[in-house]
Amino acid sequence: MDLLEYQGKQLFARHGIPVPSGKPARTVEDAVAAAEEIGYPCVVKAQVQIGGRGKAGGIKVANDRAQVEQHAGAILGMDIRGLTVGEVWIESASEIVSEYYASIVFDRSAKAPLIMLSTKGGMDIEAVADEDPDAIARLHVDPLLGFQDFHGRRLAFEAKVDEDVVRPVGAMLSKLYDAFIAEEATLVEVNPMIVTPERGVKALDAKVTLDDNALYRHPENADLRDPSAEDTQEQMAHERGLIYVKLDGDIGILGNGAGLVMSTLDVVALAGGKPANFLDAGGGSKAEAITSAVEVILSNPKVKAVLFNIFGGITRCDEVAMGLIEAFKQINPTVPFVVRLDGTNDKEGRQLLAEANLPNVHIKSTMDGAAKKVVELAAAS
Amino acid sequence: MDLLEYQGKQLFARHGIPVPSGKPARTVEDAVAAAEEIGYPCVVKAQVQIGGRGKAGGIKVANDRAQVEQHAGAILGMDIRGLTVGEVWIESASEIVSEYYASIVFDRSAKAPLIMLSTKGGMDIEAVADEDPDAIARLHVDPLLGFQDFHGRRLAFEAKVDEDVVRPVGAMLSKLYDAFIAEEATLVEVNPMIVTPERGVKALDAKVTLDDNALYRHPENADLRDPSAEDTQEQMAHERGLIYVKLDGDIGILGNGAGLVMSTLDVVALAGGKPANFLDAGGGSKAEAITSAVEVILSNPKVKAVLFNIFGGITRCDEVAMGLIEAFKQINPTVPFVVRLDGTNDKEGRQLLAEANLPNVHIKSTMDGAAKKVVELAAAS
Amino acid sequence: MSILVDRSTKLVVSGITGREGTFHSLRNRDYGTQVVAGVTPGKGGQDVEGIPVFNTFHDAVQNTGANTAMIFVPPRFAADSILEAEDAGVGLIIAITEGIPAHDELRVFNTIKKNGRSRLVGPNCPGILSPGKATVGIIPASFFKEGNVGVVSRSGTLTYQIGNELARSGFGNSTIVGIGGDPVPGTDFVDVIGLFEADSETDLIVMCGEIGGDAEERAAEFIAASVSKPVLAYIAGFTAPPGKTMGHAGAIVSGSKGTAAAKAEALEAKGVRVGRTPTEVAEVAISLLGAAA
Amino acid sequence: MSILVDRSTKLVVSGITGREGTFHSLRNRDYGTQVVAGVTPGKGGQDVEGIPVFNTFHDAVQNTGANTAMIFVPPRFAADSILEAEDAGVGLIIAITEGIPAHDELRVFNTIKKNGRSRLVGPNCPGILSPGKATVGIIPASFFKEGNVGVVSRSGTLTYQIGNELARSGFGNSTIVGIGGDPVPGTDFVDVIGLFEADSETDLIVMCGEIGGDAEERAAEFIAASVSKPVLAYIAGFTAPPGKTMGHAGAIVSGSKGTAAAKAEALEAKGVRVGRTPTEVAEVAISLLGAAA
């Protein structure tokens, strides 16, 4: 789960990481009230989970009430790269001496947290990594030992931060590590981490990704999920406990098992089609899950044809067939379906479908054949 | 540093370990006020760092105000095995279904925390260990991994606690471990840990030893040290930064380095003498430290003779001699001194002493010789 | 031969008394696996169709000599159960559980690695099947038969798909190892490919990768350096968009890293054949091994 | 030969710019030890009488090839400094610092042990001296000369006392190792005695123990099982009362355990001679080795 900037900053503050004071606001009135409390100059920042807010005009400095009103009015409702701004964060403006970059990522390859620090902050770090990789100091932390002061010193000296901020930079990295571990994050990023005129450091931005699987241990974080920010289909799938990713195309896809679904997307693409979604009904999918899945897929108006690709292991193909039959009863779909059932109880499943004689449902026995058929049907409709 | 029972319980409470509610009191009036607040029946418990309080009459149940008054009056000022009771702890009486034992010790041999659990609580655990060692379940915890739920289950099943309290016992062990680590304890002991009629568990006693070396990280614990409970000489030595242990005899001992001082005590005992103290002036002892040490030793009226046993490594013998000369100027001791100086600058040191011609100071060149001499002098005085 | 599980496997199942745990434990036993014990705290002394249940792994190991554990408990209890199995000296721990928090996996992985006593396979994996010998987990064993193709995969159903295509072409398997789709798998492609390389029964190694991480790239390096047997690969997720987790917690393209194209390229650069569809994998296998018996 | 430190020792000192750190680093160098670097964060680029100072151990090791570290920083920085040295790949770390919190020592010990890359000696130890070759720490080297007696001790000044008595009797030392008086020493009697057993220059091993813990008892077992050379022991603290910490954080008799009498008994039961006073130790040494050259 990705947090909004201000949610990340509030999480940082709980771990003693210095951040500018601020308040979120969903209306111009609230924004003005927040600014009056915080004082001027302050910054009005669009809260959307996407980069490039500044360039898009989503971050503005306000020196008085009128300017806050003006900027908040302009930013609330603004479209930034496809996302509508529903919330702004009003924070006191900070004096910036230098801009650094700091992050901790969950490094799957090394099986350890990876800390990165650079004095090239305030810009796209991937660009820095490409152009000047030596400008980023990197260090893995043994997760059983945890962050030690020497990690902070080593990173600070290697990144060549100003000598008089080696300690505060190390202290901030230590607290970021605490937050990373305590909140079970997979990413915490501060860009820029600024050096202030008082020669302290402060997190001027916050990017935090939390592990969804661990949210049950962090109810206060779980509450931060903003369903209104999710796409309609994604929200629907989430409520039904399905793993769903919306894509751009017009062929609805359902399979069981992440690898098989990904493979199905590839095979459909190879056949010239464009998948509309990734939907994993999961191992051991029961009839209800299948019915729910059909609902989710068909709620996307772009879908012109649907491919069911099931390889039954724990999942029983007869259960899948029953779910599909039930879904047809409830929804009465108007687009064609291609169904490929293989594996456990595949014969029984195919038999059930044959008996149900569902309108516009095509049974195929191979994955490749099914893909070709669904691409054909989508193109024809 | 050993905590009093109630200090331990307050520390436990900070870590979520269930303890009976209570209040400390230093006067009968405070005790009555505390009892009135807590309600009846309540228990009046002498707060001294020694076992066997119950047998000595230091723990009494009070059912009303009059009884609290009576018991608090009797216990405050009571002498329990040489310690005067200056404080009582008034706590609400607990209903006891079973008495268990739990502890975590810093196991130097295994270099890991050792957890012990037994259903034979409420009695002397060393006796249980001698008579029925299998009644105590023991488990080391990997300090880099920390306490896991399975540790708690394994201990609980092996100790054969009632099946319906396996979970609460495990939970309490987990919290005790948290406290052990977070407070940097070298011992936390709960005896008895009781099972309540509601089938929960509660710490009815608390024994906590904290690592003195770590107190700088725990200022709230450092404040718990009660100098008034310390012996006068120990307090004096502590203030002067000397390592001092009071013993029963009449020969004052000073040396540099813990091993050498212990060895000196042994050699004096072998020669038939009784050391009055252990005093390590430390490596690199400077003149001032020596002067302070003489002050501390002589403040014990039982001391009849003093042995200085110095092997100079970093410590320079001439510094020691100067300290001794200065001490004689300031204090003018009336008991004889035997001084053995060896090692770095020993000749210069002996020379200085010879020149100073201190009254009643005997110089010896070997440890054994010095020990014999001081025993002789103490016996003669 | 075969790898990891075989007739000497003595299995203890954590979570055996749960519905799914019971079902799959009995299926594993029906296949021929020696299922010697179960662990469920508080149910020690009971049995599941004759399989004795213990309160702790230590009791189970001490009483039955179990050498392999299957973890079938819900995610919030799984890390603890894996660590308990390791502490009890179980040499091979196969974690089926899906949805274990990533930081739990980190602690578990590093503890097991530093102690060096046990191998963890999974979590979030379908288990291990050595056809004709033993199966541990949820792989539908009836689709596979004994043979000389070793399969290692990050994905369950995709493995069945590919295994089934191979089976239809007449190939059997030495062992099928599901290493799981999680960010921190206990056992990686490199480990399993190394085992297959040393296994006399395995003539062809098939690896099924997917987007995310760099396990496939590391496998490519390892294959080039240390593997003499032919290796055939499949990678799922060529069309997966960056930044979206594709079902498996580990399946995500981050920035320019972890794409299927990059993985296929890395493998092909080291001489590993990469099939573009599961069907193509079976076809290449035939071409490499000749028509099956 | 000798053990642990010798002419190939290349020493880096953490805390070299402190008063004591400078003093002893230079003394070590004066004795002949190659002191190649110092570490003080923020003072990288400076030097201490020609010894270059670096900001981190990593820089120091990379630039000088240091293979041994001496830790001379105050207790609250010592654990971090030891761990940094270990992380930088220093093979032998000698921690002089006294007063390190016990839980810090626990973390440090277990991390170093699990990683298996470095040996820690100390903390709270006087260091290691191989007479005529090199010294690291604060042992007053002038009292000792080259010879065939290996000494290992939990206590500093007691070592000097015994070493000095041996020297007066004409004996020299292969190496003198102070393992320190703390609850969790990085290196124990067993480790050092094993090294002396394998050292061709050592003919007699003298161990100075004291009350507390069971290191002496474990040494007795080890000696009986694995040591062919004569071992002579001294234990301090026969008259120490139970429950009182005698200066060293590790020197405490708890309950019925850790008494000097029990230790002496354990050693004598395994055939180790135990001297009752430092003087007696020297006398027994003479009887074992014959009159010195």
Q: Would you tell me the crossing angle of helices C278-289 and C156-168 to the nearest 10 degrees? A: 40
Overall residue count recorded for chain B in this entry: 381
Which run of H or E residues covers position B43?
strand B42-46
Amino acid at D10: K
- Residues 62 through 81 of chain D touching chain A, CB cutoff 8 Å: 77, 80-81
- Report the pLDDT value the prediction gives residue A115, as an integer from 0 to 100: 97
Q: How far apart are CA C78 and CA B295, in angstroms?
A: 63
- Give the nearest partner residue to A106 out of C102, C138, C248, using CB atoms: C102
Q: How far apart are CA B210 and CA B221, in angstroms?
A: 8
* Helix (H), strand (E), coil (C) string for chain A: CECCHHHHHHHHHHCCCCCCCEEEECCHHHHHHHHHHHCCCEEEEECCCCCCCCCCCCEEEECCHHHHHHHHHHHCCCEECCEECCCEEEEECCCCCEEEEEEEEEECCCCEEEEEEECCCCCCHHHHHHHCHHHEEEEECCCCCCCCHHHHHHHHHHHCCCHHHHHHHHHHHHHHHHHHHHCCEEEEEEEEEEECCCCCEEECCCEEEECHHHHHHCHHHHCCCCHHHCCHHHHHHHHCCCEEEECCCCEEEEECCHHHHHHHHHHHHHCCCCECEEEECCCCCCHHHHHHHHHHHHCCCCCCEEEEEEEECCCCHHHHHHHHHHHHHHHCCCCCEEEEEEECCHHHHHHHHHHHCCCCEEEECCHHHHHHHHHHHHHHC
Which residue segments constitute the domains of chain C, with CATH numbers given? 10-121 (3.40.50.720), 140-292 (3.40.50.261)
- The mean pLDDT value for A49-72 works out to 90
- Report the pLDDT value the prediction gives residue A51, as an integer from 0 to 100: 77
- Give the nearest partner residue to D56 out of A142, A144, A154, using CB atoms: A154
Question: Whole-number mean pLDDT of chain A?
Answer: 92
Kindly write down the DSSP assignment for every residue of D26-63, as one continuous string: HHHHHHT-EEEEEE-TT-TT-EETTEEEESSHHHHHHH
Chains A and D: how many Cβ contacts under 8 Å?
33
Any A CB within 8 A of D46 CB = no
Any A CB within 8 A of D109 CB = no
> CATH 3.30.1490.20 residue ranges in chain A?
21-92
Any C CB within 8 A of B164 CB = no
Identify the CATH class of B98-222. Answer: alpha beta
Which run of H or E residues covers position D148?
strand D146-153
The two tokens of residue B110 are: 């295994």
Residue C257 has pLDDT above 90, yes or no: no
Q: pLDDT band at residue A288, thresholds of 50, 70 and 90?
A: confident
Q: pLDDT band at residue A108, thresholds of 50, 70 and 90?
A: confident
Nearest Cα residue in chain A from D77: A149
ipTM of predicted assembly, 2 dp: 0.92
Any B CB within 8 A of D144 CB = no
Give the tens place of pLDDT for each residue, D43-76: 999 999 999 999 999 999 999 999 999 999 999 9
Place of tokens 């190879």: A270
- Report the pLDDT value the prediction gives residue D293, as an integer from 0 to 100: 44
Q: How far apart are CA C231 and CA C233, in angstroms?
A: 7
The two tokens of residue B310 are: 């110095």
* Closest of B248, B249, B339 to residue B293, by C-alpha: B339
The two tokens of residue B154 are: 């394994």
Residue C107 has pLDDT above 90, yes or no: yes
Q: Where are the beta strands (DSSP E) in B141-238?
A: 185-195, 201-203, 207-210
Q: How many CA atoms does the CB half-sphere of A143 hold within 13 Å?
A: 28
* Chain D CB contacts of C114 below 8 Å: 114-115
- Report the pLDDT value the prediction gives residue B229, as an integer from 0 to 100: 63
* Closest of D199, D177, D264, D189 to residue D222, by C-alpha: D189
* Chain A CB contacts of B145 below 8 Å: 144
For residues D131 and D145, the answer to whether their CB atoms sit within 8 Å is yes
* Chain C CB contacts of B154 below 8 Å: 56, 58, 84
pLDDT in tens, chain B (381 residues): 899 999 999 999 999 999 999 999 999 999 999 999 999 999 999 998 877 788 889 999 999 999 999 999 999 999 888 788 999 999 999 999 999 999 999 998 899 999 999 999 988 888 888 888 889 999 999 999 999 999 999 999 999 999 999 999 999 999 999 999 999 999 999 999 999 999 999 999 999 999 999 999 999 998 887 656 667 778 888 888 888 998 999 999 999 889 999 999 999 999 999 999 999 987 666 777 888 889 899 989 999 999 999 988 778 889 889 989 998 988 888 899 999 998 888 889 999 999 999 889 999 888 999 999 999 999 987
Q: What is the CATH architecture assignment of A21-92? A: 2-Layer Sandwich (3.30)
Q: Determine phi and psi for C189, rounding to 5 degrees.
A: -50, -45
- Give the nearest partner residue to D41 out of A144, A148, A166, using CB atoms: A166
| D111 with A145: Cβ contact below 8 A | yes
Q: How far apart are CA C111 and CA C116, in angstroms?
A: 8
Catalytic residue numbers of C? 248
| Pairing assessment for the beta strands A251-255 and A305-312 based on DSSP bridges | parallel
Residue A342 has pLDDT above 70, yes or no: yes
Give the tens place of pLDDT for each residue, C191-237: 999 999 999 999 999 999 999 989 999 999 999 999 999 999 999 99
- The mean pLDDT value for A230-241 works out to 78
Give the tens place of pLDDT for each residue, C182-202: 989 999 999 999 999 999 999
Overall residue count recorded for chain D in this entry: 293
The two tokens of residue A162 are: 């100003």
Asked if the A232-380 domain carries CATH number 3.40.50.460, the reply is: no
Chains that touch D (3 or more CB pairs under 8 A): A, B, C
> CATH 3.40.50.261 residue ranges in chain B?
232-380
Amino acid at A277: N
- Report the pLDDT value the prediction gives residue D287, as an integer from 0 to 100: 85
Question: How near does any CA of chain D get to the CA of A163, in Å?
Answer: 7
Q: pLDDT band at residue A283, thresholds of 50, 70 and 90?
A: low
Q: Which of A142, A145, A149, A150 to mutate to test the interface with D (most CBs of D within 10 A)?
A: A150
| A145 with D107: Cβ contact below 8 A | yes
- Residues 243 through 272 of chain D touching chain B, CB cutoff 8 Å: 244-251, 255-256, 260
Q: How far apart are CA B300 and CA C150, in angstroms?
A: 82
| C55 with B153: Cβ contact below 8 A | yes
Any C CB within 8 A of D19 CB = no
Residue C291 has pLDDT above 60, yes or no: no
- Residues 10 through 69 of chain A touching chain C, CB cutoff 8 Å: none
Q: How far apart are CA B68 and CA B34, in angstroms?
A: 10
Place of tokens 């790269």: A81
Amino acid at A188: V
| C246 with A261: Cβ contact below 8 A | yes
H helices present in chain D, as ranges = 19-31, 57-64, 75-87, 102-115, 156-168, 189-198, 215-226, 260-269, 278-289
- The mean pLDDT value for A86-98 works out to 95
> CATH 3.30.470.20 residue ranges in chain B?
98-222
Strongest mean pLDDT among A10-19, A231-240, C275-284: A10-19
Nearest Cα residue in chain C from D112: C114
Residue C23 has pLDDT above 50, yes or no: yes
Q: pLDDT band at residue C293, thresholds of 50, 70 and 90?
A: very low
Q: How far apart are CA D76 and CA B335, in angstroms?
A: 41
Of chain B, the end-to-end C-alpha distance in Å amounts to 37
- The neighbour count for residue B35, using CB atoms within 10 Å, is 28
Q: How far apart are CA A261 and CA A310, in angstroms?
A: 9
For residues D216 and D243, the answer to whether their CB atoms sit within 8 Å is no
- Give the nearest partner residue to A313 out of C75, C102, C157, using CB atoms: C157
- Report the pLDDT value the prediction gives residue B228, as an integer from 0 to 100: 60
Q: Determine phi and psi for C270, rounding to 5 degrees.
A: -100, 15
Q: Determine phi and psi for D256, rounding to 5 degrees.
A: -100, 10
Kindly write down the DSSP assignment for every residue of B260-314, as one continuous string: HHHHHHHHHHHTT--B-EEEE--TT--HHHHHHHHHHHHTSTT--EEEEEEEESS
Question: How near does any CA of chain D get to the CA of B248, in Å?
Answer: 10
* Chain B CB contacts of A145 below 8 Å: 144
Cβ partners under 8 Å of residue A372, min gap 6: A271
Give the tens place of pLDDT for each residue, C26-75: 999 999 999 999 999 999 999 999 999 999 999 999 999 999 999 999 99
pTM, rounded to two decimals: 0.92
SS3 B7: helix
Amino acid at C191: D
pLDDT in tens, chain D (293 residues): 799 999 999 999 999 999 989 999 999 999 999 999 999 999 999 999 999 999 999 999 999 999 999 999 999 999 999 999 999 999 999 999 999 999 999 999 999 999 999 999 999 999 999 999 999 999 988 889 999 999 999 988 888 888 888 888 888 999 999 999 898 999 999 999 999 999 999 999 999 999 998 999 999 999 999 999 999 999 999 999 888 888 777 777 777 788 999 999 999 999 999 999 988 998 888 888 875 44
- The mean pLDDT value for A209-231 works out to 84
| C115 with D114: Cβ contact below 8 A | yes
Considering B6, B100, B101, B177, which one is annotated as catalytic? B101
Q: pLDDT band at residue A229, thresholds of 50, 70 and 90?
A: low
